[in-house]
């Protein structure tokens, strides 16, 4: 696994994540190689499950990136 993919996994492994973590995770998603996209997709699903955690801290959902908006 690449260093940048490891960083995405480390973000998800944190006990609590914040808006800065979310933004970095999204940046990583745009930087990874095509051959890592499928592996990253599983991390992306895990991040989606944690979005309410960030929204609770931010007290809104205005920070969502376009790929996460419903």
Give Cα 68 to chain centroid, integer Å.
10
Q: What is the dihedral of CA 49, 12, 53, 23, to 10 degrees?
A: -100
Asked whether the predicted pLDDT for residue 70 surpasses 80, the reply is: no
Write down the pLDDT at residue 1: 77
The count of domains in the chain is 1
Over residues 31-59, the pLDDT tens digits come to: 999 999 999 999 999 999 999 999 999 99
Considering the chain, what is the average pLDDT of its residues?
A: 94
State which residues form the domain around 46. 3-68
What percent of the chain has pLDDT above 90?
91
């Amino acid at each position: 696994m690449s260093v940048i993919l490891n960083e995405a996994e480390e973000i998800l492994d944190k006990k609590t994540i914040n808006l800065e973590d979310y933004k970095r995770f999204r940046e990583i998603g745009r930087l990874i190689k095509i051959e890592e996209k499928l592996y990253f997709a599983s991390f992306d699903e895990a991040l989606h499950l944690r979005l309410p955690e960030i929204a609770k801290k931010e007290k809104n959902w205005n920070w969502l990136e376009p790929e996460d908006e419903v």
